[in-house]
Chains A and B, each alone.
Chain A
């Protein structure tokens, strides 16, 4: 199958972000003093378990980032390939059954019949009100009532079995690798991992991995023949929507930071370093911006952007490009409203740093301002940037949902947690109640935000040991209980 790659604006920025992270990781690996705090992150059980979950979300998000336009089959065998107007991602292609198997309206998870009665024409004439069979969900079953439970069980069992096999392979190879590194026999490494006394908490990672793989394996085995999380009002598969929401959430959480970082870093460091009128000006700027309540500033800006996009429709060639640009604008606007906090922190830290002896010495040697800032100050404030970035992530994911509810979030055609909740919020009041869309949005969002919070906690604890975080608490607690046992 031929296709034409499409790079949307947010895709390009995601690639930039990935490149930045790779370069950063490479830098960190080369310098022992940069690596040390990351080691501490690696030794936190909750942090590593959270990272394992986050990795799954990131993989799904990245799969959803590679966009392309598949070729349309040309009946007359023309030489020129034509490409569809629909922009699809790799995830869309992998999940083609989920995307295309659209029912007519609501159906419950694992249902074989619609959730509402419909008038069906009988073959012999006449009509009857009944729950019609779904077009796709469980369509392969002859007698749904008798076969449904056993069919689901066998399929889920097969999927989970395969997942378990995969987990076994991963776990053994990691254990073998650790054993090789520690110069031990395989069995003794296995027993230390089992007792949970390795420096890197492999046991926590393996347990998390097993849980994810079991759930994922069962879901994968079932999702092409059932709607495992039901369908929504227009019959779209809710599981597919949840998967698509992940990219939107991740994008908002990361791109916003990427957008605001240059401003915050440059202005914050400049204010602290140069002082005088530069400081006054920058302080005035961020005090003014931060004095406008965040939601209102975002609402005002998004409203204005909406008007601009409505009155200039010629700027956007496809619906996807338009929705994508709106997402990007939302990130920029969120960045503009949230850079002030980081800027203030950086200014304070730079004020402290510039009085340090090594910077005084650099000044005395006549090192240029730019060089002092880039060589001596920025590397020494990076831990603040990192902590803020990681801490902000979960807040931004949550903010997206609220903003979409208020009506100033992502484009209505973009699938996100916010649009899912917004579409489903009246369904709880419906009789009979439709709960699965909210349940899906809730569980995916909770998993994402909780693991982001736990990971942020571990990072903060490693880079800023003064904070009394969860990981620190877990460590003292563990030490206490170990002491008690001994």
Chain B
């Protein structure tokens, strides 16, 4: 087991290197730092001195891959590739264009993101499973049919409309909670209720439908027939046997997103003015702050890979038949 985990972690390294190379190519080779400087300073009439100054201020004033001006090991370390891309493996993220420390921003903004993403994740899971179970319990009846129709309809609405509609109905018409904002501590609850509810509803269609399929697949298995043949009532079959077994694919499928919860949701956070990592990313995209976007791409893939490893481990925990070799 430990052996396997170590091997998985080692296997993650080449993937992260690949991600790093992709971002490096995207951000520094496709467009040179000169292009970026020109973009930031305005396209027309930019003096070469202004570009040089901008590059120097933001630490882009070195050669890309190989520095001939330096001696020995510094030939490699004093380059953009080493200082901007390789440094990320040591979690040295550098500074954003406005001069703030990116690592500090990430640490402080992680909590607000988590405050929304975690309730959405946990409550969502419970709600979706409950609805899917109801539909399966009443399978091949009106309840099931209209339930699936509702799921498909919910899937067909853009998440933007859920947010706009929710803000309009609950905050503007009924004045139940503030439209947007955030505060520290327990006080923040009134700001979080609406984004959490909307987060749950906007993913409800696809997830409920998917869980229903998983439950139905489980219903077709032999042990269910045996349980019924023993004379167990349908509710016991469903809520004891089927639920337990169908939870394996559901939970292991959900594990992969747990690390990504830290990153928050881009649009929900920006609509509700939550100072999390999602709105940080959006702001960076809008102000074309490439340093921040680069860090978020790296962080996102790192967390995703962690999620994959966690998934593999959780498989062995919930299903003893699976052994990691």
- Point out residues on A near B: beta carbons under 8 Å: 284, 287-289, 291-293, 295-297, 299-301, 303-304, 306-308, 310-311, 394, 398, 401-402, 405-408, 417, 421, 425, 428-429, 438, 442, 445-446, 449-450, 453-454, 457, 467-468, 470, 473-474, 476-477, 480
Q: Could you jot down 18 A-B contacts, CB within 8 Å? A: A284-B15, A288-B22, A292-B19, A300-B23, A304-B27, A308-B30, A310-B39, A311-B43, A405-B267, A425-B164, A438-B161, A442-B158, A442-B161, A449-B155, A450-B152, A453-B155, A468-B216, A480-B140
Given contacts A296-B297, A394-B155, A407-B286, 19 further A-B contacts (CB under 8 A): A288-B22, A289-B22, A292-B297, A293-B300, A293-B301, A300-B294, A307-B39, A308-B31, A398-B158, A398-B159, A421-B161, A425-B160, A453-B156, A457-B152, A468-B212, A473-B144, A473-B145, A477-B141, A477-B144
Complex contact B172–A428 (CB within 8 A): yes
Chain B neighbourhood of A296, CB < 8 A: 281, 293, 296-297, 300
B36's closest neighbor in chain A, by CB? A307
Interface residues of B in 116-163 (CB under 8 A from A): 140-141, 144-145, 148-149, 152-153, 155-161
CB A111 to nearest CB in B, in angstroms, measures 21
Chain A neighbourhood of B293, CB < 8 A: 296, 299-300, 303
Interface residues of B in 229-276 (CB under 8 A from A): 260, 263, 266-267
Chain A neighbourhood of B26, CB < 8 A: 300-301, 304
Given the interface contacts A401-B160, A428-B168, A477-B140, does A297 sit within 8 Å of B152 by beta carbon? no
Chain A neighbourhood of B213, CB < 8 A: 467-468
Complex contact A450–B156 (CB within 8 A): yes
Complex contact B140–A406 (CB within 8 A): no
CB A44 to nearest CB in B, in angstroms, measures 13
Complex contact B164–A303 (CB within 8 A): no
Complex contact B19–A288 (CB within 8 A): yes
Complex contact A421–B35 (CB within 8 A): no
Q: How far is the CA of A41 from the CA of B160 in the complex (A)?
A: 32
Chain A neighbourhood of B30, CB < 8 A: 304, 308
B14 at the interface (CB under 8 A from A): yes
B147's closest neighbor in chain A, by CB? A473
Complex contact A407–B285 (CB within 8 A): yes
Complex contact A291–B19 (CB within 8 A): yes
Complex contact B38–A303 (CB within 8 A): no
State which of A291, A297, A308 has its C-beta within 8 Å of the C-beta of B15: A291
Q: How far is the CA of A5 from the CA of B213 in the complex (A)?
A: 50
Interface class of chain B by DSSP: helix
B305 at the interface (CB under 8 A from A): yes
Q: What are the 9 A-B residue pairs with the smallest beta carbon separation, nearest first?
A: A288-B18, A293-B300, A450-B156, A449-B156, A291-B301, A307-B31, A468-B216, A292-B301, A401-B158
Given the interface contacts A300-B26, A470-B149, does A311 sit within 8 Å of B156 by beta carbon? no
Chain B neighbourhood of A408, CB < 8 A: 285
Chain B neighbourhood of A454, CB < 8 A: 152
A476's closest neighbor in chain B, by CB? B140
Q: How far is the CA of A406 from the CA of B267 in the complex (A)?
A: 7
Q: How far is the CA of A284 from the CA of B12 in the complex (A)?
A: 10
CB A438 to nearest CB in B, in angstroms, measures 7
Interface size on B, residues (CB 8 A): 58
Chain A neighbourhood of B141, CB < 8 A: 477
Chain A neighbourhood of B286, CB < 8 A: 407
Chain B neighbourhood of A307, CB < 8 A: 31, 35-36, 39, 288
CB A89 to nearest CB in B, in angstroms, measures 25
Given the interface contacts A310-B39, A450-B152, A467-B213, does A303 sit within 8 Å of B145 by beta carbon? no
Q: Mark B204-234, 1 if CB is under 8 A from A, else 0.
A: 0000000011001100000000000000000
Chain B neighbourhood of A284, CB < 8 A: 14-15, 18
B89 at the interface (CB under 8 A from A): no
Q: How far is the CA of A291 from the CA of B14 in the complex (A)?
A: 12
CB B50 to nearest CB in A, in angstroms, measures 15
Q: How far is the CA of A428 from the CA of B166 in the complex (A)?
A: 11
Q: How far is the CA of A445 from the CA of B260 in the complex (A)?
A: 29
Interface centre among A300, A401, A470, A477, by most chain B C-beta atoms within 10 angstroms, is A300
Q: How far is the CA of A287 from the CA of B307 in the complex (A)?
A: 13
Chain A neighbourhood of B308, CB < 8 A: 291
A308's closest neighbor in chain B, by CB? B31
State which of A398, A428, A473 has its C-beta within 8 Å of the C-beta of B164: A428
B282 at the interface (CB under 8 A from A): yes
Complex contact A303–B285 (CB within 8 A): yes
Complex contact A293–B158 (CB within 8 A): no
Chain B neighbourhood of A301, CB < 8 A: 26
B12's closest neighbor in chain A, by CB? A291
Complex contact B38–A311 (CB within 8 A): yes
Complex contact A446–B157 (CB within 8 A): yes
Chain A neighbourhood of B140, CB < 8 A: 473, 476-477, 480
B290 at the interface (CB under 8 A from A): yes
Q: How far is the CA of A301 from the CA of B158 in the complex (A)?
A: 23
Given the interface contacts A300-B23, A398-B158, A480-B140, does A291 sit within 8 Å of B304 by beta carbon? yes
Complex contact A311–B31 (CB within 8 A): yes
Given the interface contacts A291-B19, A310-B43, A450-B153, does A300 sit within 8 Å of B27 by beta carbon? yes
Complex contact A394–B156 (CB within 8 A): yes
Q: How far is the CA of A234 from the CA of B258 in the complex (A)?
A: 45
Q: How far is the CA of A129 from the CA of B212 in the complex (A)?
A: 60
A294's closest neighbor in chain B, by CB? B300
CB B265 to nearest CB in A, in angstroms, measures 10
Chain A neighbourhood of B149, CB < 8 A: 470
Chain A neighbourhood of B36, CB < 8 A: 307
Chain A neighbourhood of B290, CB < 8 A: 303
CB B45 to nearest CB in A, in angstroms, measures 14
CB B254 to nearest CB in A, in angstroms, measures 16
State which of B156, B160, B260, B297 has its C-beta within 8 Å of the C-beta of A300: B297
Complex contact B160–A402 (CB within 8 A): yes
A449's closest neighbor in chain B, by CB? B156
Q: How far is the CA of A457 from the CA of B148 in the complex (A)?
A: 11
Complex contact B158–A297 (CB within 8 A): no
Q: How far is the CA of A289 from the CA of B30 in the complex (A)?
A: 18
CB A427 to nearest CB in B, in angstroms, measures 10
CB A206 to nearest CB in B, in angstroms, measures 21
Complex contact B285–A402 (CB within 8 A): no
A427's closest neighbor in chain B, by CB? B164
Complex contact B152–A402 (CB within 8 A): no
